[in-house]
Amino acid sequence: MLVIGLNGSPNKDGNTAYLVNLALETAHREGAETELVHVEEILASQKYPYCRACASPCPGSCYRGTALETTYRRLAEASAVIAGSPVYFGTVSGQLKGFWDKTRKLRAAMALLNTVGAAVTVGASRFGGQETVLHAIYDMMLVHGMILVGDGHHTADCGHLGACAHRPAAGDRDALQRVQVLARRVVEVARVTAPLKRGKPFII
């Protein structure tokens, strides 16, 4: 089982990365292989870091032979994806949106259909738009037909929408607990839904 974490923040060592790393560490303890992707770093391989809708259906030509193509192949292989973003003006970062907008070819191949999806976020204030960020991430995942889970688990409680933190994330004890509960749920659900992943091969 492969669980990929997406750090949608431009900061490799910031609050969002901290939460995504904690989720991956927990997933690894639950028996999963894990991989962290810094979205900003991957987008640096692109001439344009956003989708220009150059053709329909998407040929994937803009990222052929780049680090983004390699990352998308890994996403197609993953059992679960945990996406993280800071709150930027009440929604996801431009980096995460740009990364996701370019996944049109993955969608055509149904490569993420029935992949388990979850989200974590951090804001500058306690009620700073975290839930709208979670909704935005879930909307993007639903368009791929992913299976969404929140931060609930039989060892804790039914949970809420996902793991939300108030920066500094490392000092938000409640958020750190919810991230770990979320990651356990991700692995548990990915394990039992693995037979449902039957997307077409993701070929460039």
79 closest CA partner among 143, 144, 134, 34: 34
**What are the residue ranges in the chain where pLDDT is below 50?**
none
Residue 24 lies in domain: 2-196
User: What type of residue sits at position 87?
Assistant: V
Residue 89 counted as domain residue: yes
The angle at the Cα of 7, spanning 133 to 170, to the nearest 5 degrees, equals 85
Q: Which are the contacts of 63, defined by CB distance < 8 A and separation ≥ 6? A: 45, 46, 69, 72, 102
Residue 204 counted as domain residue: no
CA–CA distance, 185 with 181 (Å, rounded to integer) = 6
Residue 155 counted as domain residue: yes
The CATH number that applies at residue 189 is 3.40.50.360
Residue 24 counted as domain residue: yes
CB 186 within 8 A of CB 159: no
**Tens-place pLDDT, residues 3-15:** 999 999 999 999 9
- Which SS3 state, helix, strand or coil, does residue 110 take? coil
Residue 201 counted as domain residue: no
Element (H, E) at 177: helix 173-193
Q: Domain count of the chain? A: 1
Residue 116 counted as domain residue: yes
pLDDT score of 203: 59
Residue 203 counted as domain residue: no
**pTM of the complete model:** 0.95
